[in-house]
Amino acid sequence: MKKQRQSRNLAVLTKKRRSLRKSLVKIYPILRGSVVTLGVKCGNPNCKCANGKTHPSVYFSISKKGRTKIVYLGKGVQAQAEQWVANYVKQKEIVDRLTEVNLEILLSQRRARKHKR
């Protein structure tokens, strides 16, 4: 009776995993990092930015192995970049849930093997 409950549980987990995987592939494109607005100086000594009123500019910031890289994007693609970053966050959440489900599957397989002996 216990074994039956376990296999039903495994079926539920497998179904959950399939649905998570389906939603994972639907979310794209992705961009890992963040969209930031930084104040920049244009270099014109007569411009307001020379006195501290810098021009807000849109950049993409990405960290890799402890190093941060900043790439100029501009306002034209800001909304799109933010959407892709949000997609990455959603994918990461799904990967976390998939990890939980897969771990449960592994543990139930381990238990099943133990009972066979």
Residues in contact with Zn ion by CB under 5 A are: 42, 47, 49
Note whether 81 and 73 are within 8 A (CB). yes
Phi, psi of 65 (to 5 degrees): 50, 45
Determine if the peptide bond prior to 45 is cis (ω within 30°).
Answer: no
Least CB distance to Zn ion at residue 71 (A): 21
Q: Which lies closer to Zn ion via its Cβ, residue 51 or residue 68? A: 51
Q: Which residues sit opposite 34 in a β-bridge? A: 61
Q: Which lies closer to Zn ion via its Cβ, residue 42 or residue 70? A: 42
Q: How many of the other CB atoms lie within 10 Å of CB of 17?
A: 17
Q: Which lies closer to Zn ion via its Cβ, residue 42 or residue 106? A: 42
